Amino acid sequence: MKEQIQKMGRFLSGMVMPNIGAFIAWGLITACFIPTGWIPNETFAKLVGPLLSYLLPILIGYTGGKMIYDHRGGVVGAIATAGVIVGADIPMFLGAMIVGPLGGAVIKWFDGLIRGKVRAGFEMLVDNFSAGILGGILAIIAFIAIGPVCQFINEALGAGAKFFADHGLLPFVSIFVEPAKVLFLNNAINHGVFTPLGAAQVAETGKSIFFMIESNPGTGLGMLLAYWLAGKGTAKASAPGAIIIHFFGGIHEIYFPFVLMNPILIIAMIGGSFVNILVLTFLGGGLVAPASPGSIFAELIMTAPGSYFANVAAITLSAVTSFILSVVLLKAFGKGEDLQEAIARKDALKAESKGAPIDASKVDAILFACDAGMGSSAMGETMLRKKLKEAGLEHIKVLHSAIDQISGNPAIILVHSQLKDRVKSKCPGSRIIAVTDLIGAPEYDLLVKELAGK
């Protein structure tokens, strides 16, 4: 069930994440040129509405269709999205997430239906007209039915969020957000749920608290600082490096294993997130666009004018809260490895890592996979490439990819242990190596030694 939830979350966030640059562009234009912005300009402010209402939903719809059926699916998805945009009076992010993939699925079904039945020389004619006709029909259906329904759902969600905010209940969403994050649903939550809600709120108020619920790096910082102070063994040793990567690099996945090795720490993470949302609500903080990746630099750049004190206070106090709670919990419940446990763990890792023998002469590339193909996999790629170079194996390429975008059966795939089952089901013929510590994983050294024939 966890694997299916991850897949669904990845699909939703996958429509938004490739377009984060467009969200940031819109957010910066909004922050600069609206009447309450940094440099108000009535002429340039005319860009804000069209970017929000047309560009962003169409990009999402195109991406959703492309995920189903490449460029052709993306085109039909974008056409259908235009219908849902015109059929509603609010930004149609939800509608785009529905009709974009629907458009891709419909044209894929049609192409499968007529495959091998089109006369030679008529292929382009059929391709173009089928996409246009089906896209037009979907646009009309979206305009008449899907747009109004999505508007009703959006208004209901907005009313629910407003109710939580008005009654001081918004901090309680941390009870659901933090456990979901450590199960690698962070991108699904941030970009699949909070980014659309935040964009709609920015259109009304010029900033949104939703952009900081998941992305705030303070909560993870406090927990990692606690490991540095009160942790044991390899966790304590790797905490400083994880702090730099998490807080300044914005790769939150780096701290998930620290929570998973002591699950009781989820209480500290919920506490830090609760304080974050509480402070933002009380002081009126928020961002103008998604902070992606969730580093302190991105948070400050995307901070709305007049909200710097609130946002910095939220980040600081959430870090302090999670730090204090984490120290207490580590002292009371923290697990440490003795020598025999460490040796047993190393032997188990070595056995799992080796698997079937590798013919190093036939390995020309290694793939590092993660949920989104951006954060942890890119970092793992860099670290493994460095180790291969030091071992004189720089001819072996190291690549990174999102799990859903892996093609074929690469010879060797590295992936975080929480995502291993998804890779296994997608690439049954590949050698899959699961890692838990993205910084100091012993699997890196074991693999390099094996490839070097040592």
* Active centre residues (catalytic): 370
Token reading at 252: 């939150």
149: its two tokens:
């329904």
What whole-number distance in Å separates Cα of residue 92 and Cα of residue 85?
6
The Cα angle at residue 302 between residues 299 and 308, in degrees rounded to 5: 70
What's the CA gap between 220 and 121, in Å, rounded? 60
Of the candidates 130, 127, 67, the one whose C-alpha atom is nearest the C-alpha of residue 102 is: 67
What DSSP assignment string belongs to 44-88? GGGGHHHIIIIIHHHHHHHHHHHHHHHHHHHHHHHHHHHHHHHT-
Bridge-based pairing state of the strands 365-370 and 431-435 = unpaired
The tokens describing 63, both together, are 């991406």
**Pair of tokens at residue 325:** 């709670």
Residue 249, C-beta contacts closer than 8 angstroms, at least 6 positions apart? 293, 295, 379
Coil/strand/helix, residue 431:
strand
| Helical ranges in 214-360 per DSSP H | 218-230, 233-243, 256-261, 266-283, 296-301, 308-333, 339-354
DSSP 401: E
SS3 426: helix
CA 331 to CA 229: how far, in whole Å? 10
CA-closest candidate to residue 68, choices 42, 46, 100, 91: 100
Query: Cα-Cα-Cα-Cα dihedral of 14, 211, 45, 19, to 10°?
Result: -10
Does residue 87 contact residue 147 with C-beta atoms inside 8 Å?
Answer: yes
* Tokens, residue 421: 């089952």
CB-based contact 73:106 (threshold 8 Å): no
Cβ(188)–Cβ(372) under 8 Å? no
Give the Cα separation of 378 and 365 in Å (integer): 15
